[in-house]
Structure formats: structure tokens, C-alpha cells
Amino acid sequence: MIFDDFKMIRKDKRFGSMNLTTVEIYDIKRNGIYQGMGKTLNLSVGGMLLEIYDQIPVQLNYGITLQVGLFGSNIVLVKGIVKWLHYYEGNIRIGIQFLPLTKKISDKITNFLEKME
């Protein structure tokens, strides 16, 4: 599988999870380049694989802000860095490493993932 390339460098186990997200992507100079929707394909407390259906000029090391719906009305705001890109069947898949999370956000994600095991 194409995602196996990064298994060895990941710190946290990722779980397959499809969650609706709002997405804002910023270039190196902090200019906004995209605002829209996407979905997670997998999630961990340290990052995620995001799929976006629009063609956008995203590059490695761009900043990203996401609001991720975990369950019910539980939404978390996370920020991260684009670490991996892959175009797949007309969509773009983006590997994201989260910037340090607050304990509250980290706990919400951890609780969500524990329910998936």
C-alpha cells in the first residue's frame, strides 16, 4: 500500500477514520491558498491523512488549520504542517503532522481513537 512508506517514521499509531473537516492551507509566507472541506482517511494523536477533492497548489511544509468532527458535536481545532502529498484518482491526499496540541485537544483525539480499537 502506498501509505506504508511512512510507517517507520511515525510516532503514533494511525487509525482508519473518515471524519469531515474544514480546511485552511497557508503557503510559506502565511498567505491563504485554500479554504474548503475535506475528510480524514486516517488519524492519530500526532497527525492525519487528509483527502481534498479540489485541485490546489499545495506544497510540502505549508501550514494547515483544520476543524475535525470526531463524533456527535465534538469538533477539534488542530494546526499542522504538510509533510506528504499524493494525487489519487483526481483528488489530493495530504499527510499532516500536527503542531503541539493542547492537553484538552489531545485528550479528545485520544478518547476518540480508543473507541476505535
* Model pLDDT for residues 53-111, shown as the tens digit of each residue: 998 989 999 999 999 998 766 899 999 999 999 998 889 999 999 999 999 999 999 98
What's the rounded Cα separation, in Å, for the pair 42 and 49? 5
84-112: buried (b, 16+ CB within 10 Å) or exposed (e) per residue? eeeeeeeebbbbbbbeebeeebbebbeeb
pLDDT bracket for residue 3 (50, 70, 90): very low
DSSP strand pairing (74-88 vs 20-26): unpaired
Domains of the chain: 2-114 (2.40.10.220)
- Helical residues (DSSP H) of the chain, grouped into ranges: 103-114
pLDDT for 10: 52
Q: What is the mean pLDDT of residues 29-50?
A: 95
pLDDT for 19: 87
What's the rounded Cα separation, in Å, for the pair 41 and 38? 10
